[in-house]
Amino acid sequence: MKHSSIILLAIASLSTVALANQSPTGQLTVDKSMVRKGGIPTLTWNIFHPIKQIEEVVDIDDNDEITAKKRLRVQVSVIGIGITDGRNEYKSTSWLHFSSSGWKHVFEGYGSQVNTSQINIDRILEPGEKIKFAARYYWNSWQPYYYSNGDNVKALINGDQPPSKAGGYDQSSLNDYLRPYVKDGKLNLGELDIIYAAELTHTDQRASGFDMQDTIILLRFSEVE
Ligand SMILES: [Ca+2]
């Protein structure tokens, strides 16, 4: 009984992994001959992930707009909103435009309201579908929108330089909310992840407040049949 429950647990965790990734195939081996009464079986397994790079499933053009190359699922969440003057937080609102269906709202609120595990948009994209981003922040009134085709928004992938202040990357310019996504000075994202990073408070790229971290959202792609 003990052995079979351990095996079931292993299979359960294997299928959790399968759901969380891009349909890996798994192989589970249980070495029964090694198990004595009251002993613990040796479990080994290998998981084979199909290797996919983001470039294989989408195109990111010079305007930081994304076009699906295949049928894909996209799940959108907010990584962080970092708009403060040291005392007060300011809110932002963010949107994604899908060529098949127009503007869809992602999130409106303050950085302290962000729940990174919340999926705000979950859609199927057909090949050729194009995505754009827009966001703005509130300071006395809603300020102008910035769009993905301008210099205040960048689409970034795993291994890119993190969003940073004018004058280049510097670890101290990272917002706390962004630190879990940075490793050894590079963005540490999933292979099929894209982030949109937006500067909403400044247009002068030399200003210290120009940090490209006012609103950052995550688009997580996966292949679907
Ligand atoms: Ca800013």
Distance 1 CA to ligand 1 centre (A): 59
Beta bridge partners of 28: 45
The domain limits of the chain are 2-48, 54-223
**Better pLDDT: 30 or 66:** 66
Distance 141 CA to ligand 1 centre (A): 16
Residues present in the chain in total: 225
Domain 54-223 has CATH 3.40.50: no
Rounded (to 5) percent helix, strand, coil in the chain: 15, 40, 45
Residue 14 clears pLDDT 50, i.e. is over it: no
Distance of alpha carbon 28 from its chain centroid, rounded? Answer: 30
Distance 205 CA to ligand 1 centre (A): 10
Rounded Cα–Cα distance for residues 57 and 69 (Å) = 5
DSSP state of 120: -
Q: What mean pLDDT is predicted for residues 174-195?
A: 95
Q: What mean pLDDT is predicted for residues 40-49?
A: 64
Distance 33 CA to ligand 1 centre (A): 62
pLDDT at 19: 43
Distance 170 CA to ligand 1 centre (A): 15
Rounded Cα–Cα distance for residues 205 and 153 (Å) = 12
Residue in 103, 158, 157, 107 with CA at minimum distance from that of residue 132 = 103
Distance 211 CA to ligand 1 centre (A): 5
Distance 53 CA to ligand 1 centre (A): 31
Rounded Cα–Cα distance for residues 173 and 162 (Å) = 10
Q: pTM of the prediction?
A: 0.77
pLDDT at 182: 96
Give the H/E segment covering residue 80.
strand 72-81
Distance 166 CA to ligand 1 centre (A): 10
Q: What mean pLDDT is predicted for residues 143-151?
A: 97
